[in-house]
């Protein structure tokens, strides 16, 4: 056996709410995708050290148009039983307090790559569902339960359990309230594991912000009563302000063939100690079972670690390569995501112009319905991203370009558009917490293709452009403070888009390439 040194996070950038699972010789981690499609990103590994994006599960099963910011697909959980993968997830349709419309579904497949079944509706009493397969063959659904009657902003009041009948494809029997939570409150993300003589319930508490924690309790019977770990919380950074990893919680565990146990959990890396511009990421640490049957980290503490070790069967070196390039040669790379609607031939194709991706215009940049954007996760504090565009706008309502995008209220957009006095021009717009500003710079462009580039160095970003065969990049507008793109809940994306507010599908742009170069580890 070998001790392999790694650095957390193992999944940098927007990869929240991890659930870890081992099937045969492969480990999987599924993460939340919120309003980005395809939904539920899955990574796989053979050694827990190096992870590769394997697939995204939710493709044609869902409709997210109109879903609110920070809603949609929350906290997916993978399980495996009798030759089938099971996935349960929440589709959040509204987050306006005091209510929360959170619908839970189940799908299954013989392989992690599908084909996945049609969704089975489960319930709507609360989010973060988890499916437990007991040793007697029965299956049980857990979820957080929401109570609109309580006065606090977060209205999570514990965990409920109900049996799932595979034949009937529905929940059956009594609903059991198995955990009320602790004074940390905001109890969610419940997972049950059977170990030795106990059922162990692992939950997230304290909210997904600075108070985030992992709490463990156990019971002799599945339905309880559950005994609370006397040293809870098992994991938290709430009392460790100097830790580079914050907001740690939402844990799940896995055992290796060598007998070691590990917990995957979410964390953030606040930029300048202020803002988690990369969103919530995924980390991992080794845990063990004490003689009296509780989970503890092997380092002896209860906090997240940037540097830690994984026990491997063979020598392994951790690799982190966040670079990405797509030359649009005939198939859209699986790294891409789109907002609320899938990227399909109805609005982006490779056949209209060989060697280019043609994107047909959608709604405005703030649309919750038909926003035609293709973007990838920002995974580095320092990076450059560039693209080349062929676009002929006819009015100021037509635009195409390169953007940094957190959500419909927070974005930066360098774009080609039309000006009545100057013809085709380059402009820069910004929206920060819903407050829109338009840069006064209006740059006339030559005919032909235009290249755009964004350079990001921590909290500052600057856009650049060049035209024709020129090699010199020119600055577009002033350097921008990017801390407003740190939402903490989701992470920032960088991508390309086309918009037209004059008419639907009123214009199109052809993109020659897109390239992202991560500079953090260079």
Please report the beta strands in 63-146, taking only residues with DSSP state E, as ranges in sequence order.
72-81, 84-94, 101-109, 120-123, 130-133, 139-146
Taken as a whole, the chain contains a residue count of 522
CB 255 within 8 A of CB 261: yes
CB 262 within 8 A of CB 251: no
Q: How far apart are CA 312 and CA 406, in angstroms?
A: 37
CB 144 within 8 A of CB 155: no
Structure token digits, residue 80: 């495996």
Query: Is the CA virtual torsion 309, 310, 315, 317 positive or negative?
Result: negative
Structure token digits, residue 182: 């602790």
Q: Which listed residue (17, 47, 144, 510) is catalytic?
A: 17
Q: How far apart are CA 28 and CA 275, in angstroms?
A: 29
Q: Is the peptide bond between 225 and the residue preceding it cis, with omega within 30 degrees of 0?
A: yes
Indicate if 128 belongs to the active site.
Answer: no
Nearest Cα residue to 494 out of 17, 9, 14: 14
69: burial class by Cβ within 10 Å (0-12, 13-18, 19+)? middle
Indicate if 17 belongs to the active site.
Answer: yes
- Cα distances from 239 to residues 207, 243, 270, 389, 434, in angstroms, run 14, 9, 15, 49, 33
CB 348 within 8 A of CB 374: yes
135: burial class by Cβ within 10 Å (0-12, 13-18, 19+)? exposed
- Cα distances from 339 to residues 80, 304, 357, in angstroms, run 29, 32, 18
Q: How far apart are CA 421 and CA 443, in angstroms?
A: 11
Q: Which listed residue (47, 91, 144, 188) is catalytic?
A: 188
| Number of neighbours of residue 168 by Cβ within 10 angstroms | 9
Q: How far apart are CA 479 and CA 283, in angstroms?
A: 32
HSE at residue 369, side-chain half, CA atoms within 13 A, is 4
Q: How far apart are CA 216 and CA 231, in angstroms?
A: 9
Give the containing element (helix H, strand E) for 402.
strand 398-407
Please list the active-site residues. Answer: 17, 188
């Amino acid at each position: 056996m070998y001790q392999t040194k790694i650095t957390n996070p193992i999944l940098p950038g927007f990869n929240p709410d991890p659930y870890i699972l081992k099937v045969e010789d492969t480990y999987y981690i599924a993460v939340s995708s919120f309003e980005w499609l395809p939904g539920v990103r899955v990574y796989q590994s053979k050694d827990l050290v190096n992870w590769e994006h394997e697939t995204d599960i939710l493709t044609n099963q869902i409709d997210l148009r109109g879903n609110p910011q920070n809603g949609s697909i929350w906290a997916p959980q993978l399980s495996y039983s009798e030759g089938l993968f099971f996935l349960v997830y929440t589709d959040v349709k509204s987050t306006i307090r005091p209510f929360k419309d959170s619908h839970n579904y189940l799908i299954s497949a013989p392989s992690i790559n599908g084909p996945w079944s049609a969704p089975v509706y489960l319930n709507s009493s609360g989010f973060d569902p988890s499916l437990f397969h007991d040793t007697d063959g029965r299956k049980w659904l857990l979820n957080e339960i929401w109570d609109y009657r309580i006065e606090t902003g977060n209205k999570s009041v514990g965990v409920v359990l109900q049996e799932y009948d595979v034949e009937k494809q529905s929940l059956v029997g009594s609903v059991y309230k198995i955990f009320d939570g602790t004074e940390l409150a905001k109890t969610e993300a419940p997972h049950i594991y059977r170990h030795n003589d106990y059922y162990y319930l692992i939950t997230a508490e304290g909210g997904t912000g600075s108070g985030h924690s992992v709490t463990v309790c156990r019971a002799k019977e599945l339905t309880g009563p559950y005994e609370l770990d006397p040293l809870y919380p098992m994991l938290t950074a709430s009392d460790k302000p100097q830790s580079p990893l914050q907001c740690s919680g939402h844990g799940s565990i896995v055992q290796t063939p060598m007998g070691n146990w590990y917990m995957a959990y979410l964390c953030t890396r606040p930029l300048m100690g202020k803002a988690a511009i990369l969103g919530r990421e995924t980390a991992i640490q080794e845990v063990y079972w004490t003689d009296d049957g509780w989970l503890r980290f092997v380092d002896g503490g209860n906090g997240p670690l940037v540097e830690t070790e994984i026990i491997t069967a063979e020598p392994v070196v951790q690799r982190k390569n966040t670079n990405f390039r797509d030359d649009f040669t005939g198939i859209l790379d699986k790294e891409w995501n789109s907002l609320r609607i899938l990227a399909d031939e109805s609005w982006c194709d490779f056949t209209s112009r060989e060697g280019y991706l043609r994107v047909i215009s959608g709604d405005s940049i703030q649309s919750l319905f038909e926003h035609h954007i293709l973007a990838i996760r920002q995974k580095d504090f320092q990076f450059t991203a560039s693209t080349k565009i062929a676009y002929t706008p006819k009015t100021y309502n037509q635009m195409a370009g390169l953007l940094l995008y957190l959500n419909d209220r927070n974005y930066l957009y360098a774009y080609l558009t039309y000006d009545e006095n100057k013809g085709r021009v380059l402009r820069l717009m910004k929206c920060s917490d819903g407050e829109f500003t338009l840069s006064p710079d209006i740059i006339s462009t030559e005919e032909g293709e235009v290249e755009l580039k964004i350079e990001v160095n921590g909290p500052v970003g600057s856009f650049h452009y060049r035209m024709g065969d020129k090699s010199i990049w020119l600055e577009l507008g002033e350097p921008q403070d990017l801390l407003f793109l740190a939402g903490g809940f989701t992470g920032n994306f960088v991508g390309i888009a086309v918009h037209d507010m004059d008419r639907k599908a009123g214009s199109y742009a052809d993109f020659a390439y897109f390239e992202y170069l991560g500079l953090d580890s260079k």
